[in-house]
Structure 1
Amino acid sequence: MNESKVILVTGASSGIGLAAALKLVEAGHTVYGAARRTEPMASIAAAGGHVLSLDVADEASMTAAVDEILAREGRIDVLVNNAGYAVYGAVEDVPIDDARRQFEVNLFGLARMTQLVLPGMRAQKSGTIINISSMGAVIYTPLGAWYHATKHAVEGFSDCLRLETAPFGIDVVIVAPGAIDTGFNEILGEQVRAASGDGPYAEMAAGIARTAAPGQGSKPSVIADVIARAVAAPRPKTRYRAGQYGRLLVFLRRALPDRLFDKLVARFAG
């Protein structure tokens, strides 16, 4: 069995975060699942893990969560930055405050959690930071500018961080899921209709909503397995890709000229 590690998973109330926390508990690690709502994480506690209230857009909440783990365990070996969400709608239609909130959670919350765990990891000369990105950091879709922008930013941030932390024995890993069945599509369809269902982008919004059918994509357990492998690896990869369409669409994005990929995405998006 691999050495037990103290692991903090953000956004653990559903989807990938919940599946990852349960998988890591099963692997014998000391796991803290964290999210704004603790009730949906009851299964983590039942499996032998721990549950924390955490809002990655609130400084006091983030600091308190890290301090609590350090007080109880003395260290944090792995941070899984999974908390995030998507804002969909035409750039013209999405209020700029909503866009700022998107960055606050998906990028700045991730960055602040990283800042809070780094001093301890440097002191122990070891640690792993796993940032959950998306195939959306490489590809793009209409009406998804703000979401894709945050994922592009997460990957740029992670690449720079990897160089900074390597001399201290700290690994930085990007996990980039493809299409995962987490309820994302249902929410996306509702969002895009609310933001851009009327007006000049209505036809485009209707197409996106039609293609965002619930129940599509790989199960969250596919990504949980990848996260568990990265945690267990003595020298993890810098990037892992898994999940429906993930590798294929990234390959096509890199292989095709921009205009041709634009046409492919427009057709796929309806």
Structure 2
Amino acid sequence: MTQSRAILLTGASSGTGMSSGTGRAAALRLHRAGWPVYATGRNLDALADLAAEGITVLHLDVNDEESMAAAVKRVTDEHGAVGTLINNAAYSLNGTIGETPMDEVRAQFETNVFGLCRLTQMVLPGMREQGGGRVILMSSIFGLFATPGRGYYQATKHALEAIGDSLRHEVARFNIKVVLIEPSPILGGFVPDSVADLGMQSHDNPALYKEFWDHFVDWHQAYRLSDNPPLRGKLAVRAENVAKLIETAVTDPNPRIRYKIGIPVRLLTRMRATIGDRNWDRFVRAFFPIP
């Protein structure tokens, strides 16, 4: 069986709201390089610009098994199997560990972890049958360490690191390659404009960390998308550059296990291993917003 070149990509909506813009940028880049791309999202209207480029767009909600099955069937009917799955759909839940309602925590894991796992399960049989394939997991610098205020989101990215490592060994004999992408903070990705944008109206005792959340919003403004980002924003990466790295992960005959992009993800992970846990905690308290 000839291996499929078809790419199924989740979370392809433009870079607003819950999206970093990486999915859209990757869809465009891979399409323009000649790959058959199926760009998916929960809202087809938000994918209209990709459709105008000639990209096939499909409705796919990683919390809706029927929509996932329909998307996989469409690709399989037209190409024999999904050749590459890019698990990009995700959102960032803001909130402290002690005050975030558990239904919101479960919803975060349903989207960022459980839906991703189920969709991966759906494409694996076709990949095995055709004798190969590729699964790309969008992790993060925050899959390697955590900070206050987004611990549950960061836990989902930690989970992807473990899932990727386990899956890689399980499917290697079928010539299926599993790749983790670990970007530094992405300009414009998950950046709040105000405390109200954090969506914590249902959280317990919102005044408990009021000063922290005010600082949290101000601190993240350095990562607003702009031509000349200030201060910390200069170390962030752009969605287009992450998309270029995704293209490498798709096309390299022997891809790396992990691709890191940006100075922070390269520097901070080495730094933590060098200075030890207590000094790392001191660094986190000095650099990141702390209650």
TM over 0.5: yes
Partner of 1:267: 286
| Cα distance between partner residues in 2 of 1:236 and 1:208 | 36
- Identity level (%): 41
Structure 1 unpaired stretches of 5+: none
Partner of 2:265: 246
- What letter is aligned with 1:226? L
| Cα distance between partner residues in 2 of 1:212 and 1:179 | 10
Give TM-score scaled by structure 2 length: 0.87
Match of 1:169 among 169, 175, 187: 175
Report if the CA contact (8 A) 2:28-2:50 is conserved: yes
How big is the shift at 1:244?
Answer: 5.3
How big is the shift at 1:187?
Answer: 6.4
CA deviation profile, 1:185-219 (whole Å, cap 9, x unmatched): 12695317655884332222222222111234321
Partner of 2:138: 132
Q: Which moved more, 1:55-64 or 1:166-175?
A: 55-64
CA deviation profile, 1:63-103 (whole Å, cap 9, x unmatched): 11111111122221000000001111111111000000000
Partner of 1:69: 75
How big is the shift at 1:243?
Answer: 3.3
Q: Which moved more, 1:159-168 or 1:187-196?
A: 187-196
Partner of 2:120: 114
Count of residue correspondences: 268
From the superposition, tell whether residues 86 and 32 of structure 1 become closer, same or farther in structure 2 (CA, over 3 Å): same
How big is the shift at 1:138?
Answer: 0.7
From the superposition, tell whether residues 109 and 238 of structure 1 become closer, same or farther in structure 2 (CA, over 3 Å): same
Report if the CA contact (8 A) 2:63-2:110 is conserved: yes
SS in 1 for 2:38: strand
- What letter is aligned with 1:267? A
Once the two structures are superposed, the pairs formed by residues 123-162 of structure 1 within 5 Å of their partners are 123-162=129-168
Partner of 1:6: 6
Partner of 1:220: 239
| Cα distance between partner residues in 2 of 1:47 and 1:149 | 36
- What letter is aligned with 1:235? N
SS in 2 for 1:161: helix
Structure 2 unpaired stretches of 5+: 15-20, 226-232
Q: Which moved more, 1:211-220 or 1:110-119?
A: 211-220
Report if the CA contact (8 A) 1:143-1:192 is conserved: no
Match of 2:198 among 185, 191, 202: 191
From the superposition, tell whether residues 188 and 100 of structure 1 become closer, same or farther in structure 2 (CA, over 3 Å): farther
Partner of 1:87: 93
SS in 2 for 1:199: helix
Give TM-score scaled by structure 1 length: 0.93
Report if the CA contact (8 A) 1:16-1:223 is conserved: yes
Q: Which moved more, 1:14-23 or 1:186-195?
A: 186-195
SS in 2 for 1:129: strand
How big is the shift at 1:258?
Answer: 1.6
Over aligned residues, Cα RMSD in angstroms?
1.9
Partner of 1:105: 111
Match of 2:57 among 41, 51, 63: 51
| Cα distance between partner residues in 1 of 2:136 and 2:212 | 34
How big is the shift at 1:39?
Answer: 1.8
CA deviation profile, 1:150-193 (whole Å, cap 9, x unmatched): 11111101100000000000000000111102341126953176
